[in-house]
Amino acid sequence: MRTARFLLVLIFCCTRIHAQDSVPAALEKRLIAFTDQLWLSWMKSGDVRAVSALRVQETLDDPPCDFVPFTSQGACQQLSKDERRDHVQTTENIMTLLLYRLLSHEDLDENKLTQFGPDMMFTFLSEPERSLLSQLIGPATTATEFRDSVPRYKELEQMFQAVHVKDFETTQDVYTKNVARLDQAIKEPKVSRVDPTLVQRYGLTAGEYFTVRKGLFIFWLQMNKDQLRFAFVQGVTQ
């Protein structure tokens, strides 16, 4: 049960996005195309670092503590920019590769979707993966705790990447079918404009921000001077 609770925190760790005013059709199409390109490049390599050139560099180079998961504010403030940046990317990989495997290991028909929950994850996680997850329960409350946990996060990331890269070519069809079913079940708009007050609260840099929902992921995109950049990703909370 403790591991199940950790998985819920791991996936659904962020604030739910509420739709704002509608997005013009041409812009919506462009945002979705950018997200699809980003996602394919990320999934082919199994590493979000492969798409660093497509990211909002200010956010990537100096992530606000609100973006550094499983770390208290006090501990985060003692970390270097490099430590925060690497941890954000490591946990992004863990979250996305875990959910990709959940949605690609078997066909989730309507009956299985009604039973969708954390217990389903145990059907495909190996014992070493479950063991590492159980060791990572709870936030690091000091910089020492954070640094002690880094090797375990990196080991888990590498485990997930090894399985993902090996299976990616043979799992895409199942993943695509399951995402299509989820898109039908989730009623919120696929593309939304982010409320400027939320952008300010997160301390994001200049430009307008949009969210694109893709399966169980919400991608935050920045548009600044007609250029699109990827800010960060979070899990769908409902």
Q: What is the pLDDT of residues 141-170, one digit of tens each?
A: 999 999 999 999 999 999 999 999 999 999
Question: What pLDDT is stored for residue 204 in this prediction?
Answer: 85
- The answer to whether 231 touches 55, Cβ cutoff 8 Å, is yes
70 closest CA partner among 157, 154, 149, 139: 139
73-108 per-position pLDDT tens digit: 999 999 999 999 999 999 999 989 998 998 898 877
In the sheet that holds 217-224, the strands lie side by side as 191-193, 208-214, 217-224, 227-235
Percentage above 90 pLDDT, the chain:
57
- The predicted structure's pLDDT at residue 22: 76
pLDDT (0 to 100) of residue 5: 43
Q: Strands 191-193, 227-235: parallel, antiparallel or unpaired by DSSP?
A: unpaired
pLDDT band with cut points at 50, 70 and 90 for residue 114: low
The more confident residue out of 188 and 161 is: 161
Tell me what pLDDT residue 94 has: 94
| pLDDT of 180 over the 90 cut | no
**What is the separation, in whole angstroms, between the first and last Cα of the chain?**
21
**Pairing state between β 208-214 and 191-193:** antiparallel
How many other C-beta atoms can be found within 10 angstroms of the C-beta atom of residue 56? 21
What pTM did the predictor assign? 0.86
195 in Cβ contact with 168 (< 8 Å): no
Task: Name the residue range of residue 164's domain.
Answer: 2-235
Total tally of structural domains belonging to the chain: 1
Taking the C-alpha atoms of residue 97 and residue 26, their distance in angstroms, rounded to an integer, is 30
- Using CA atoms, how far apart are residues 238 and 215, in angstroms rounded to an integer? 12
Closest CA to 168 of 160, 157, 178: 160
- Would the pLDDT of 226 be above 80? yes
CA–CA distance, 44 with 55 (Å, rounded to integer): 17
